[in-house]
């Protein structure tokens, strides 16, 4: 396990996640706005930092020998499962602490946003590789702003902007988190091919 931790630089990744969460706290109420037709659509800047926390957690699953990682079905695969769960809990903890410095209920909406992006990051990592697990989460920002960027009256489904105590807003994050975790855990892992035999020396 010690070799696993060192090979993935997990301590450095955890520190980076904490820094990103601190930046989310410093962002406060600043928003990213875009003009769509005659309407102004917005999303808080701190959610970009929370997306960074989730993407760092997802990318940390990338090993230095990806082909070996895919072929292993024993101890390494169990270690990856523990790694996934621990970094999910750690990420939720740091974003909730960052939310305590913001408005009331921000810690809960931060956990909700982290769950969505972490699940999306895991799904993306299972499909195209953990090193690129940030691609799909980043691609969700523009649709969220376009579909429902009304800060004053967000839709109940909107996991990014809805009130923290809106139950409907947790459906999509929970689904993505479950799908992402399942996609990573049960992705097809081809067996490692045996080394080719050397031809026999001529007698």
Domain ranges in the chain are: 2-185
> If we measure between CA atoms, which residue out of 157, 145, 154, 163 comes closest to residue 33?
145
pLDDT for residue 122: 92
Question: pTM for the full model?
Answer: 0.79
167 vs 29: CA distance, rounded Å = 23
What confidence tens digit (pLDDT) does each residue in 84-142 have? Answer: 999 999 999 998 888 776 666 678 888 988 999 999 999 998 888 878 888 998 888 77
Q: Name every residue whose Cβ is closer than 8 Å to that of residue 173 and which is 6 or more positions away in sequence.
A: 112, 113, 115, 116, 119, 159
According to DSSP, the residues that pair with 132 across neighbouring strands are none
Tell me: pLDDT of 191 over 60.
no
- How far is CA 153 from each of CA 42, 148, 156, rounded to the nearest angstrom? 12, 9, 9
Would you list the DSSP string of 75-92? HHHHHHHHHHHHHHHHHH
Range picked from 35-44, 80-89, 142-151, 153-162 for highest mean pLDDT: 80-89
Give SS3 for 128: helix
Which H or E element spans position 24? helix 10-27
- Residue identified by tokens 């990051």 is 121
Give me 109's structure tokens. Answer: 């909406």
- Residue identified by tokens 């600043």 is 30
By residue count, the chain amounts to: 203
pLDDT for residue 89: 94
Report, in this order, helix, strand and coil percent for the chain, each rounded to 5.
60, 5, 30
Q: Are 22 and 98 in contact (CB under 8 A)?
A: yes
121 vs 161: CA distance, rounded Å = 20
193 vs 100: CA distance, rounded Å = 51
Residue 183 vs residue 104, higher pLDDT: 183
Tell me: pLDDT of 156 over 50.
yes
């Amino acid at each position: 396990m010690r070799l696993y931790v060192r090979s993935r630089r997990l301590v450095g990744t955890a520190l980076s996640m904490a820094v990103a969460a601190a930046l989310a706290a410093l962002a406060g109420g600043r928003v990213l706005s875009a003009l769509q037709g005659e309407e102004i659509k917005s999303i808080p800047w701190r959610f970009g930092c929370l997306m960074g926390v989730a993407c760092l957690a997802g990318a940390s699953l990338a090993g230095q020998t990806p082909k070996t990682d895919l072929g292993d079905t024993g101890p390494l695969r169990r270690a990856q499962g523990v790694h996934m769960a621990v970094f999910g809990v750690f990420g939720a903890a740091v974003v909730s602490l960052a939310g305590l410095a913001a408005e009331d209920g921000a810690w809960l909406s931060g956990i909700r946003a982290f769950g969505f992006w972490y699940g999306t990051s895991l799904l993306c990592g299972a499909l195209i590789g953990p090193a690129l697990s940030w691609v799909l989460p980043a691609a969700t920002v523009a649709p969220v702003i376009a579909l429902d960027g009304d800060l004053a009256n967000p839709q109940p489904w909107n996991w990014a902007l809805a009130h923290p105590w809106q139950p409907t807003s947790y459906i999509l994050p929970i689904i993505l988190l479950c799908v992402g975790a399942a996609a990573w855990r049960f992705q097809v892992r081809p067996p490692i091919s045996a080394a080719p035999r050397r031809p026999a020396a001529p007698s």
